[in-house]
Amino acid sequence: MKKYGLALHTTTPELGLAISNFDGEDRRSSVWNLERELSSQMHPCLMEFIKPQQWQDLAFISVAKGPGGYTGTRIGMVTARTLGQQLDIPVFGISTLAAFAWYYLTNLKLSEKKDEKILAVQMPAQRGKLFAAIYQTTPDNSPFKVLLSDTVLTPEIWQEKLSGLNDNYQLLKANSELAKTAISILELAYIDWCNDKFPLWSEALPFYGQHPVDM
């Protein structure tokens, strides 16, 4: 029986879904701009998207764990954890920023992938702050090293961190169209899956970074 991986991306007003059996025969992804209807329309979209596969065909689920919108991130995480628990399959929580960086890398020309790169990813956060992370690529294009894990900071502190890289980095701004990186969520999870990592559904935890209400 063929086994598939499924990815959910709900950290923005868009819904991104991706599915693949990773042998080249079946790989597809879709994006819906649901905005405030995300909570009510995600499940119908998911039910339609997964066809002709069935839930029993899934070997694992991956989900964007944030950073991003509080409500959307929570909806995606709860859905992924519930499916993982019911199907008794692993659930991979993947950083929104890591997926954005991976999407950038996989769309580079082959000649541009050979050199190691430092990727500094930033995304707008609430109250004038930024979500940020820094990654370093590897020569074999395997998952990058995390130099700075997901965090939230002021633009001034972020600039200080970037200054410490001595201009030896590529700045990526994750400002829009993040749901299309659902395929990257899936690919990063698959790499972990191939390395015999099988996280329990209960280990998938969101990264909100900020409380939705200023305390």
| Residue 58 near residue 7 (C-beta atoms within 8 A) | no
On whether residue 208 sits in a domain, the answer given is no
Each residue's pLDDT tens digit, 65-96:
999 999 999 999 999 999 999 999 999 999 99
On whether residue 125 sits in a domain, the answer given is yes
Strand order in the sheet with 4-9: 27-33, 14-20, 4-9, 58-66, 91-95
Check whether residue 70 and residue 122 sit in a common domain.
no
- Domain count within the chain: 2
Check whether residue 52 and residue 67 sit in a common domain.
yes
Check whether residue 133 and residue 166 sit in a common domain.
yes
Each residue's pLDDT tens digit, 115-159:
678 999 999 999 999 999 999 988 765 678 999 999 999 999 999
| Residue 93 near residue 174 (C-beta atoms within 8 A) | no
Closest C-alpha among 62, 75, 45 to residue 4: 62
Of residues 188 and 213, more confidently modeled: 188
Q: Look up the pTM and report it.
A: 0.92
* Residue 66 neighbours by CB under 8 Å, 6+ apart: 11, 73, 95, 96, 150, 206, 207, 208, 209
Look up the CATH number of the domain holding residue 137: 3.30.420.200
Q: Is 210 helix (H, G, I), strand (E, B) or coil?
A: coil
Look up the domain containing 44 and give its range.
4-96+177-203
* Residue 49 neighbours by CB under 8 Å, 6+ apart: 17, 19, 30
Check whether residue 186 and residue 166 sit in a common domain.
no
Look up the CATH number of the domain holding residue 39: 3.30.420.40
Check whether residue 86 and residue 167 sit in a common domain.
no
pLDDT (mean) for 8-19: 96
